[in-house]
Amino acid sequence: MIEAQETESIPISALQHAVYCLRQAALIHLERLWADNRLTAEGAVLHAVADKGGKRLVKGVRRVMALAVSSRRLGISGVCDMVEFLPQVGFEVPFPVEYKRGKPKLHRADEVQLCAQAICLEEMTGINVPSGALFYAETHRRIPVTFDSTLRSLTEATVADLLNVLTSGHTPPPTPHKSRCRACSLVELCRPNVCSRPVLAWRHDRLQEILAVGP
């Protein structure tokens, strides 16, 4: 379990970036770099409706859109796309639902983001949040997510790793991953295949280029 330092809160969305690639998270949230591609544009369109906010009652379940949440303990904050408050005897149990483009992924970035929302809701309401769901636009289905000890530990470890990067002020070196780098909108800014090469090798190549051109 970690305790947040007295610093600006970390956006919950940054945890998704950190699980996907810690360097990507640093480029976005430390160096303030951003670039859109088709995937990010589709994601923005999908969230346009949820971000409008509002409340509604559906079959006895209260739904709140664009609900702001935070955890002082972890030093994180963000906005839940939707939280359903499931009625129990004398109270309601929060059930966060996060909207995602595409389909379920092989990594756990989306689950960590959702779990962080649950931790915030628990701290804010004092009620245990055992599960939530990810809704994927491509499949039009909800994928249930259980907030077990493994996912909670991964979420808190991700917060700690990202906090270390942000407080250090240093962007981690790239760790090239063929499919993830190809899908990343920051690939041209990151240049993983260039930056991951040893500095001496890069200097050697540059020196050879200069000598080849001549005076």
pLDDT > 60? residue 37: no
Mean pLDDT of the residues in the chain: 81
| Distance (Å, whole) CA 30 – CA 11 | 12
User: Which of these, 215, 185, 210, lies nearest to 41 by C-alpha position?
Assistant: 185
User: Which of these, 185, 11, 12, 4, lies nearest to 110 by C-alpha position?
Assistant: 12
Domains of the chain by range and CATH? 10-213 (3.90.320)
| Distance (Å, whole) CA 70 – CA 63 | 18
Q: What is the pLDDT of residues 155-196, one digit of tens each?
A: 999 999 999 999 988 888 777 666 566 666 666 666 656 554
What mean pLDDT is predicted for residues 23-41?
68
pLDDT > 80? residue 96: yes
User: Which of these, 77, 88, 89, 62, lies nearest to 119 by C-alpha position?
Assistant: 77
Identify the top-confidence range among 12-26, 67-81, 174-188.
67-81
